[in-house]
Amino acid sequence: MSSNDTLNKAKILLGHWIEHNHEHSEEFLEWADRVKALGKTEAGDDIAQAAQKMDEAGKLLSQALDKLGGREA
């Protein structure tokens, strides 16, 4: 694989991972609320914290994508 191919593949993967993480984060928050509604506040808080970490990971992936020149068209 040429360096240009590797760069393009990385951009595609980063875009996919960013979207995938965002979807998971939203789902985590939904489930955090559901678990908390059952009185399992600590577990719900842990799930919500996982969502926050997923968002942080998404930001780092976005920064990496920007440094590689952004999304492929």
What is the rounded distance in angstroms from the CA atom of residue 10 to the CA atom of residue 36?
38
Average pLDDT, the chain: 95
Report the pLDDT value the prediction gives residue 1, as an integer from 0 to 100. 83
| pLDDT exceeds 70 at position 73 | no
pLDDT reading at 67 higher than 80: yes
Distances from the Cα of 66 to the Cα of 9, 29, 31, 63, angstroms: 14, 27, 31, 5
pLDDT in tens, 26-51: 999 999 999 999 999 999 999 999 99
